[in-house]
């Protein structure tokens, strides 16, 4: 064994006596979540607030870590637990499992971050053959005692001893059937006593040992089982999904039992201090009479709405309402609560700041400001760009009556409608002929990529949030519902069958909701989100009758805008996108891709340019392209008048403008077979062969094109300059920035710059206007980042092309890897998230940081921006803020997200400065 001096990790070190592993509920508080877990910290907080919490103690996450690392509990733990157990027994006036009057406890998991349902809890620890009748006598209720005992054996058997839970369920069902009843409350004491016998037999048969009768042994085994539950597969998967670190460990709470199963004046429930779905204030929760904790959520009997508790037990209800108010005021946020009523006495068993929907998050944040509980800076931290993005998706019109035929995991939001297709080939074929399709598969794999791209949405019957379908769909921003298990997908006969027997054939219309996971038969009408209507300027958020969600969004956006330091620009290639982006708050264009202007009818001109044999031919082609480009730029400068527009010169490899090599070969071969001669096709084919590249991403593209195709960049620069001159003369305020892509060395940039400056000067002189056009470059190659200090000599600005920079830093091409091995990497935890989604701070990010610093060292006024998709990703925006860039640029729909997150980043760093 390796020697180590750290008392936290060496179970045998005598120094470990200095570490405290067990805290009484009275000793903790809510700031100790690292050590006591969320549940333990909040139990302590409630205890100290004077709320009725059953006494108990918490074993720390540190103890768990020692156990997980060494395989044994820290040596000091046993004695410390004994000490706290003694104290608890003295306080309660009875001993754990004492025969005539047993103290019973629950042993509950509770990590720093809530992992609902992922780990284990065992109730009624301390009951045994010896103490069950003592419990019955004390409670004056035979049935209750046997019910508690059977619950213990069931939970303990399953979670601690690893017995298949089904076996207990079946035995319980058998007992109910034998008695002719449907719910467990109709089993009497004798039935339950019989069931205990059965359960003990099951334990003995399945584990080869008897159910442990020693109360302390029960407790110790349960504690260990909770430690172990940190590392179950489902817990690991959940943590990866939620990006919770794997080494935190869980705390264990030992809490004296209170009983909701003592008859009709007892019960158990859950409550929220406001509606987690809408954020509205009111009474929200469920209550179940004569039941123990798990029964509420397990859905074995019908719960009643919490409001009904007022009729059932007014005193407890009133007390609960008061406690909820105390908690909200104390936590200054929505809280969720578990409680139990034992013979008319209310007990608090758990609270935490509750999860909520995106809409509720915005409403609650502003409500709390209005109540004076938090300020606006804090309110901004209570919402996220991800939530805002969710609110912007179009929604299904829920007033329309539509038939739900299934439900899966909401893997990628959106509302998609289309004809059902069951294979990618059909998806592509139908979508080419203008049909909207939903691709339905059991699971997707890399072969389905084309179909996924062609489809409006993707539906699978297998797989979870990290399945191939989910990961790829999220990457593409495509609606996806996965793991809809009740749907029987039969790809061979091209149909799917729902649980009620409805058959959906190929071509039938289905609708899927990626925000709720619901699947509908037929077409559900779609309505635009009110939040988008607001950003579009179609609704007035300050009007008295404005939707309260829109009001909340407006308030928080305004505050974010007042705080942020990063400007937000858009990626847009045409006037329409530019205008929308501007409505959404864009402060300019960060990336206009000129290649999109070369497609469609203009493709022919590009072909002519590529095929040109002589300077004259080439110039002729360029002369025809220039006015077209110029017209595009005039529109764009007009739409963004007064704001910067960064135009990137031609970037992609030329073969992208030529016909597909296979199609063309076939055409030429067929023509030859018919003894026809198509001179142009033959020349094209030659060109295609010549331009064919093994790795086009690393081939002849970007600035390299500009340097080898004479006149190409000059034509583009001239078009930009002429457009700017024309706008100026017309009284406009064009602010063009010319951006050279894929520069690896300053020499490339120098040549292009010199040529461009000449062209601009010519245009300015001819037009008689002054043209201040900025010339800068993208930083998207590692070499550019590494020599940024030199490159800045020739650049007025840098724009980090983080998509290509990610590809070139990692050495993989996005198109090839996302569909092939990313799922595996995500599952293995090599990536917490795709580096194309959130910037890889350690690798790509560190190049951005150093290049920004080197560039500014050369040229202090160097403007710095980002035009990769990361510009619209919340976490990445925070990083760019921190690195000190001037702006991010993203697609029009991400602009509000970037604005919000830039504001949050600024408010957050201000907060930490003043701390
Ligand atoms: P989870 O984290 O899965 O909610 P908990 O540890 O909160 O697990 O416990 C599961 C259920 O048992 C909850 O409903 C809880 O309120 C209930 N419970 C836990 N401890 C006690 C106790 N000491 N007395 C009564 N009910 C309890
Ligand atoms: Mg709980
Ligand atoms: Mg690029």
Q: If DSSP states are collapsed to H, E and C, what string results for 539-554?
A: CCCCCCCCCHHHHHHH
Residue 153: pLDDT over 80 = yes
- Protein residue with least CA distance to atom 24, ligand 1: 257
Residue with tokens 């509770």: 110
Per-residue pLDDT reduced to its tens digit, 1-20: 333 344 444 444 444 446 89
Mean pLDDT within 789-798: 98
Tokens at residue 59, please? 């074993």
Residue 743: pLDDT over 90 = yes
**pLDDT score of 356:** 86
* pLDDT band (50, 70, 90) for residue 220: very high
Q: Which of 455-459, 561-565, 631-635, 693-697 has the least mean pLDDT?
A: 693-697
780 appears as a binding residue in the annotation: yes
* SS3 label, residue 34: helix
**pLDDT score of 300:** 62
Mean pLDDT within 204-226: 97
Ligand 1 atom nearest residue 119's Cα: 3
801 appears as a binding residue in the annotation: yes
* pLDDT band (50, 70, 90) for residue 467: confident
Residue 402: pLDDT over 50 = yes
How many Å lie between the centroid of ligand 3 and the Cα of residue 209?
A: 65
Q: Would you please indicate which residues are annotated as catalytic (active-site) residues? A: 468, 867
Closest CA to 507 of 516, 496, 518, 517: 496
* pLDDT band (50, 70, 90) for residue 637: very high
* pLDDT band (50, 70, 90) for residue 797: very high
Residue percentage of the chain with pLDDT more than 90: 74
How many Å lie between the centroid of ligand 2 and the Cα of residue 350?
A: 6
Mean pLDDT within 245-262: 95
**pLDDT score of 10:** 42
The number of angstroms, rounded, from the C-alpha of 574 to the middle of its chain's C-alpha atoms is 31
Residue 611: pLDDT over 90 = no
- The DSSP bridge pattern shows strands 887-890 and 863-866 to be parallel
**pLDDT score of 691:** 83
Q: Which of 216-220, 501-505, 662-666, 826-830 has the least mean pLDDT?
A: 826-830
The residues near 514 (Cβ < 8 Å, ≥ 6 apart) are: 393, 410, 411, 412, 413, 414, 415, 416, 457, 473, 479, 480, 481
Cα distance between residue 513 and residue 480, in whole Å: 8
> End-to-end alpha-carbon separation of the chain, Å?
43
**pLDDT score of 236:** 84
How many Å lie between the centroid of ligand 2 and the Cα of residue 369?
A: 29
How many Å lie between the centroid of ligand 2 and the Cα of residue 338?
A: 6
Ligand 1 atom nearest residue 104's Cα: 23
593 appears as a binding residue in the annotation: yes
Q: What angle do CA 214, 216, 220 make, to 5 degrees?
A: 120
Mean pLDDT within 506-522: 94
> Global pTM?
0.84
Residue 466: pLDDT over 70 = no
Tokens at residue 848, please? 């951005």
Count other Cβ atoms within 10 Å, centred on residue 180: 7
Residue 910: pLDDT over 80 = no
* SS3 label, residue 488: strand
- The DSSP bridge pattern shows strands 509-513 and 415-421 to be antiparallel
- Backbone φ and ψ for 882, nearest 5 degrees, come out as -65, -35
* pLDDT band (50, 70, 90) for residue 722: very high
**pLDDT score of 299:** 59
Helices 33-48 and 61-70 cross at an angle (nearest 10°) of: 150
Q: What angle do CA 404, 405, 406 make, to 5 degrees?
A: 100
* SS3 label, residue 648: strand
* pLDDT band (50, 70, 90) for residue 911: low
The number of angstroms, rounded, from the C-alpha of 872 to the middle of its chain's C-alpha atoms is 14
The number of angstroms, rounded, from the C-alpha of 724 to the middle of its chain's C-alpha atoms is 42
Cα distance between residue 673 and residue 676, in whole Å: 7
Question: Pocket of ligand 1, candidates 40, 111, 257, 350: which has the most ligand atoms within 8 Å of its Cβ, to mutate?
Answer: 350
| 555, HSE (Cβ side, Cα atoms, 13 Å) | 24
* pLDDT band (50, 70, 90) for residue 914: very low
Residue 168: pLDDT over 90 = yes
Q: Which of 8-22, 301-315, 382-396 has the least mean pLDDT?
A: 8-22
| Domains identified in the chain and CATH numbers | 3-256 (3.30.1490.20), 267-361 (3.30.470.20), 392-527 (3.50.30.10), 560-596+631-653+713-914 (3.20.20.60)
Per-residue pLDDT reduced to its tens digit, 67-116: 999 999 999 999 999 999 999 999 999 999 999 999 999 999 999 998 87
**pLDDT score of 817:** 82
CB-defined site of ligand 1, < 6 Å:
54, 106, 108, 117, 121, 123, 255-258, 293-294, 338, 340, 349-350
* SS3 label, residue 682: helix
Cα distance between residue 56 and residue 338, in whole Å: 16
């Amino acid at each position: 064994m390796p020697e180590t001096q750290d008392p936290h990790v060496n179970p045998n070190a005598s120094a470990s006596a200095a570490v405290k592993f067990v805290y009484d509920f009275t000793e903790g508080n809510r700031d100790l979540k690292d050590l006591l877990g969320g549940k333990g910290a909040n139990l302590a907080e409630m205890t100290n607030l004077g709320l009725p919490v059953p006494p108990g103690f918490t074993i720390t996450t540190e103890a768990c870590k020692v156990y997980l690392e060494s395989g044994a509990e820290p040596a000091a733990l046993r004695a410390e637990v004994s000490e706290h157990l003694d104290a608890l027994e003295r306080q309660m006036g009875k001993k754990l499992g004492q025969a005539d009057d047993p103290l019973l406890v629950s042993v509950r998991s509770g990590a720093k971050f809530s992992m609902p349902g992922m780990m284990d809890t065992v109730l009624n620890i301390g009951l045994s053959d010896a103490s069950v009748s003592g419990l019955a006598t004390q409670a004056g209720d035979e049935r209750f005692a046997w019910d508690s005992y059977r619950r213990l054996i069931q939970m303990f058997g399953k979670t601690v001893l690893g017995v298949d839970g089904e076996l207990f369920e079946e035995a319980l069902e058998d007992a109910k059937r034998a008695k002719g009843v449907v719910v467990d409350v109709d089993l009497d004491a004798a039935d339950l006593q019989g069931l205990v016998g059965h359960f003990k037999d099951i334990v003995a048969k399945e584990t080869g040992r008897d159910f442990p009768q020693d109360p302390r042994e029960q407790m110790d085994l349960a504690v260990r089982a909770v430690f172990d539950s940190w590392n179950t597969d489902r817990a690991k998967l959940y943590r990866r999904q939620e990006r919770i670190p794997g080494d935190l460990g869980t705390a264990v709470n030992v809490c004296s039992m209170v009983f909701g199963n003592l008859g009709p004046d007892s019960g158990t429930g859950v409550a929220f201090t406001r509606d987690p779905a809408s954020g509205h204030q009111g009474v929200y929760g469920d209550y179940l009479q004569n039941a123990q904790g798990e029964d509420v959520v397990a859905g074995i009997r019908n719960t009643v709405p919490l409001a009904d508790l007022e009729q059932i037990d007014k005193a407890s209800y009133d007390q609960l309402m008061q406690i909820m108010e105390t908690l909200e005021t104390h936590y200054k946020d929505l809280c969720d609560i578990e409680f139990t009523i034992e013979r008319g006495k209310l007990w608090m068993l758990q609270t935490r700041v509750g999860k909520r929907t995106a809409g509720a998050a915005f409403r609650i944040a502003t409500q709390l400001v209005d109540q004076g509980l938090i300020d606006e800076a804090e309110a901004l931290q209570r919402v996220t760009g991800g939530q805002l993005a969710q609110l912007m998706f179009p929604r299904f019109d829920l007033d329309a009556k539509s038939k739900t035929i299934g439900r899966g995991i909401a893997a990628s939001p959106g509302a998609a409608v289309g004809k059902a297709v069951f294979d990618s080939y059909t998806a592509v074929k139908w979508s080419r002929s203008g049909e909207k399709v939903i691709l339905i598969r059991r699971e997707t794999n890399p072969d389905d990529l084309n179909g996924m791209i062609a489809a409006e949405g993707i539906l699978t019957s297998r797989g979870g949030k990290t399945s191939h379908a989910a990961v790829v769909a999220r990457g593409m921003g495509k609606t996806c519902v996965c793991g809809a298990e009740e749907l029987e997908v039969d790809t061979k006969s091209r149909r799917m069958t729902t649980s009620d027997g409805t058959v959906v054939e190929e071509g039938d219309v289905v609708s899927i909701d990626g925000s709720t996971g619901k699947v509908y038969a037929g077409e559900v009408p779609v309505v635009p989100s009110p939040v988008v209507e607001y950003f579009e300027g179609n609704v007035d958020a300050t009007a008295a009758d404005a939707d309260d969600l829109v009001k909340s969004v407006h308030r928080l956006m305004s505050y974010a805008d007042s705080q942020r330091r990063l400007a937000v620009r858009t990626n847009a290639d045409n006037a329409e996108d530019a205008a929308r982006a501007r409505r959404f708050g864009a402060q300019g264009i960060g990336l206009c891709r000129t290649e999109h202007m070369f497609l469609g009818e203009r493709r022919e001109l590009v072909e002519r340019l590529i095929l040109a044999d002589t300077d004259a031919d080439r110039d002729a082609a360029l002369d025809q392209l220039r006015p077209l480009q110029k017209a595009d730029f005039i529109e764009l400068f007009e739409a963004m008048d007064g704001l910067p527009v960064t135009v990137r010169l031609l970037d992609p490899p030329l073969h992208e403008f030529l016909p597909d090599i296979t199609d063309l070969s076939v055409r030429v071969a067929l023509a030859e077979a018919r003894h026809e001669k198509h001179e142009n096709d033959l020349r094209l084919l030659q060109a295609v062969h010549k331009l064919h590249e093994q790795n086009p991403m690393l081939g002849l593209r970007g600035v390299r094109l500009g340097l080898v195709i004479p006149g190409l960049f000059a034509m583009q620069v001239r078009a930009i300059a002429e457009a700017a001159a024309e706008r100026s003369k017309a009284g406009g305020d064009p602010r063009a920035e010319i951006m050279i892509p894929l520069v690896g060395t300053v020499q490339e940039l120098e040549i292009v710059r010199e040529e461009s400056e000449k062209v601009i000067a010519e245009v300015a002189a001819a037009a008689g206007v002054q043209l201040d056009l900025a010339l800068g470059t993208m930083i998207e190659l590692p070499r550019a980042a590494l020599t940024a200090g030199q490159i800045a000599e020739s650049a007025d600005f840098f724009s980090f092309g983080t998509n290509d920079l990610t590809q070139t830093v990692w050495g993989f091409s996005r198109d090839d890897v996302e569909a092939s091995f990313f799922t595996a990497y995500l599952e293995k935890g090599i990536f917490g998230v795709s580096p194309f989604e959130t910037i890889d701070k350690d690798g790509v990010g560190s190049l951005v940081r150093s290049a920004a610093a080197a560039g500014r060292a050369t040229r202090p006024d160097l403007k710095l921006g980002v035009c990769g998709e990361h510009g619209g990703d919340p976490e990445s925006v925070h990083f760019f803020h921190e690195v000190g860039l001037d702006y991010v640029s993203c697609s029009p729909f991400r602009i509000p997200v970037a604005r919000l997150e830039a504001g949050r980043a600024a408010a957050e760093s201000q907060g930490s400065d003043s701390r």
